[in-house]
Chains A and B, each alone.
Chain A
Amino acid sequence: MIPLENFLVLSGLLFAVGLFGVLSRRSAILILMSVELMLAAVAINFIAFASYRDVEAFSGLVFALFVITVAAAEVGLALGIVLRLFRERRTANVDEASSLKW
C-alpha cells in the first residue's frame, strides 16, 4: 500500500507550485489556472484523509466534491469579470487594473 505521507507531500508541493503561480503571474487567466492547481492540491488532501482515516463519515469526500463544484463556479464567474475588464480596458493583466475607480 502507498503510505499516507506520500499523498500529503504531493499535495503540499502542488499547493506551493500553485501559490508560486498566483504570486508571480500577471495575466488574470494564468492566475486562475494557478488557483485551480491550489484547489486540486486541497482536494487531494481531503480525499487522502477521507479514504485513509475517515471512511465511515464520508465528510472528506463530500468536501472534495464541493471543492470541485465551487472551483467550476469560480472559473465561470471570474472569466465573466475578466472578459468585462478586457472589453473596457483592453488588458487582462491584474497589475494594469489597479485603480478602484476612474
Chain B
Amino acid sequence: MFNRLPLPSQFDRTIISGGTVLAIGAAPVLVVLAALLVADRVTAPEFIFYLAATTLLASALGVVLMKNIVHAALCLVVTLLGVAAIYLLLLTEFLALVQVLVYGGGVVILLLFGLMMTNAQDDPVVTDGSQKPFAFGVAALLAGVFVAMAVDAQWGSPEASVVPFRDFGARLFRDFSLPVIIVAVLLDIAFTGAFVNARRAEAEGAGRGETRP
C-alpha cells in the first residue's frame, strides 16, 4: 500500500518525526494525569490545564532550542494554540478566538514568509550566539523569581468568572473608545511604515541600475 504513495518529502519526514517525538514525550505526562484524574486527585479543568501547560512549555522550549528554523516556527504554532487553550480555561472565549485568528493565521504565516525570504543559503547556519550560557543564567534566575513570587503571594481563593461577548464589546467601544482609536492609528502607521520601508529599497535599487538578487 505504501508503494503507491508518493515519496515522503523532507517536510513530511519532519512532521512525522516531530509527531513521534511529541507522542513519546507526551505519553507519560498523559498517563500520569489520567491516573490522577481517575483517582480524583485533579478535576477535569485542572487536567486540561496541566495538559495544555505542558504542551505549551515544551513547544516553547522547542522554539528557543531547535536548530532548524522551520521546526522552531512550527513549534511556535503549537505554543500559540496552547496559549489560546489557556485563554479558554480563563473563560475568555473572545480572546481565544482572536488569538487563533491573529497568531495562528496571520503572524505565523508572516514569520514563515520572512524565514523563506531571508534564509537563502543551503548550508546549516549557526542559530545561537556565544552568549547562550549567560542567557540561560538570566532566564533561570528570572523564572525562579517569578515562580517564587507567584507561589509566595497570598491571592486568597478568587474564582474566575465568565465575561460575556456582548458586555465585552459594549465596554470596549464605550469606555475604551479612545485607546481603541489610538491602537487603530498605531496599526495604520506601523503597516504604512513597513510598506514604505520594504518598497523604498526596491525603488533605490532600480534607480541605481542594480539588479536585485
Q: Which of B86, B114, B157 contacts A44 (CB 8 A)?
A: B86
Cross-interface CB contact of A84 among B53, B176, B191, B198, cutoff 8 Å:
B198
Q: A25-B128, A77-B194 are in contact. Are A62 and B76 (CB under 8 A)?
A: no
A27 to B129, CA, bound (A): 9
B29 at the interface (CB under 8 A from A): no
User: Which residues does chain B contribute within 8 Å of A62, judged by CB atoms?
Assistant: 171-172, 176, 179
Q: Are A73 and B56 in touch, CB under 8 angstroms?
A: no
1/0 contact string of A27-45 vs chain B (CB within 8 Å): 1111011101100100110
Instruction: Flag if B129 contacts A87 (CB, 8 Å).
Output: no
Q: Which residues of B contact A14 (CB under 8 A)?
A: 56-57, 60
Task: Select one of A3, A7, A23 contacting B157, CB under 8 A.
Answer: A3
Interface size counted on chain B using CB atoms at 8 A: 88
Q: Judging by beta carbons under 8 Å apart, are B201 and A51 in contact? A: no
Contact with A along B82-120 (1 / 0, CB 8 A): 010011011110010011001100110011011101111
Complex interface bits, B7-30 against A, C-beta within 8 A gives 1, otherwise 0:
000000000000000000000000
Which residues does chain B contribute within 8 Å of A40, judged by CB atoms?
Answer: 79-80, 83, 103
Contacting B at CB under 8 A, from A1-50, are: 1-30, 32-34, 36-37, 40, 43-44, 47-48, 50
Contact of A79 among B114, B150, B157 (CB under 8 A): B114
Q: Would you call B110 and A23 a contact (CB within 8 A)? A: no
* Other-chain residue from A16, A26, A70 in contact with B139 (beta carbon distance below 8 A): A16
B166 at the interface (CB under 8 A from A): no
Pairs of residues from A and B, 9 with the lowest C-beta to C-beta distance, nearest first: A12-B146, A23-B135, A21-B64, A16-B143, A80-B194, A20-B139, A8-B150, A73-B190, A92-B118
